[in-house]
Amino acid sequence: MVHNIFKGLGIALITPFNEDGSVDYASLSRLIDYQLRNGADFFCILATTGETPCLTSDEKSRIKDLVVEKVGGRVPILMGFGGNNTMAVVEELKSADLNGISGILSVCPYYNKPSQEGLYLHFKAIAGATKLPVVLYNVPGRTGVNMTAATTVRLARDCKNIVAIKEASGNLEQVDEIIKNKPADFDVISGDDALTFPMISCGAVGVISVIGNALPKEFSRMIRLEFKGEYAAAREIHHRFTDLFGLLFVDGNPAGVKAMLHEMGMIKNVLRLPLVPTRISTLQKLSEIMKELKI
């Protein structure tokens, strides 16, 4: 039986860049150390927040190797494998170097907007192409298609190595339906920082977090308090960051968290086109809130 080991605070790891646009591996290494010291329970690499569509194959390979070496087996690593061509994803999985990787994250196919049956067969094929645990990723705001609770539960029941879903639909009713009807050995993980508090209170087991890149200590404390049933203290932390949650995504992800990390002196504020740095007005608001929070 395959079990979900991706619980608590997962970091949706960014990719830092130098001023010339090359990958800043030194800053990435320091960032991983910082997150491990401050409560990261697992890493999610080479996914949306890492600007993966804009990385070369060589860069992705080097980033994967660096993360595996730095983590050194201390926490699990979830690696992104997704696309809207099922056969291509399956072939990529079969040929990939997955040494040091604990599981794969696979996003709903984007652009071609498959039916629920198409989504089911897509993920069933991916699950059959690997022995590693598979975490589904539902983010209709990016893909143009929502995977329903019924399809998620069907996959959880039919594919034993599909162990969890990163739910970023923003629909708490859908999340609750999954948690109510899922098999006991299948988990829901929040894919939305702003909804992590209510999702965990409903039964989610953690988050794959954007803000955790910059504030792992604070965000992991909120999660741990909730796990212990100390909801009032956890809610206080949640409310401290309410304004930050909105600002992080107003100019697109990961522009907001990269601006935060730049303000903290940890990376250069550089993204790859078509993404651009957050607007000056947003940056000023972020800076003001961070000063208020003494970050």
- Annotated catalytic residues are 137, 166
The DSSP letter of residue 210 is S
Q: What share of the chain is helix, strand, coil (3-state, %, to 5)?
A: 50, 15, 35
- Count of C-beta atoms within a 10 Å radius of residue 124: 16
Question: 3-class DSSP state for residue 250?
Answer: coil
Classify residue 280 by burial, with Cβ atoms within 10 Å: 0-12, 13-18, 19+: exposed
Q: Prior bond to 274 cis, omega within 30? A: yes
- Looking up tokens 């651009």 gives 276
Q: Is residue 11 within 8 Å of 40, Cβ to Cβ? A: yes
Q: Is residue 161 within 8 Å of 134, Cβ to Cβ? A: yes
CA 126 to chain centre: 19
Q: What are the residue ranges of helices labelled H in the chain?
A: 25-37, 57-71, 86-95, 116-128, 140-143, 149-158, 172-181, 196-202, 216-227, 231-240, 242-249, 255-263, 280-292
What's the token pair of residue 133?
């645990």
What's the token pair of residue 106?
């696979």
Question: 3-class DSSP state for residue 2?
Answer: coil
Question: 3-class DSSP state for residue 187?
Answer: strand
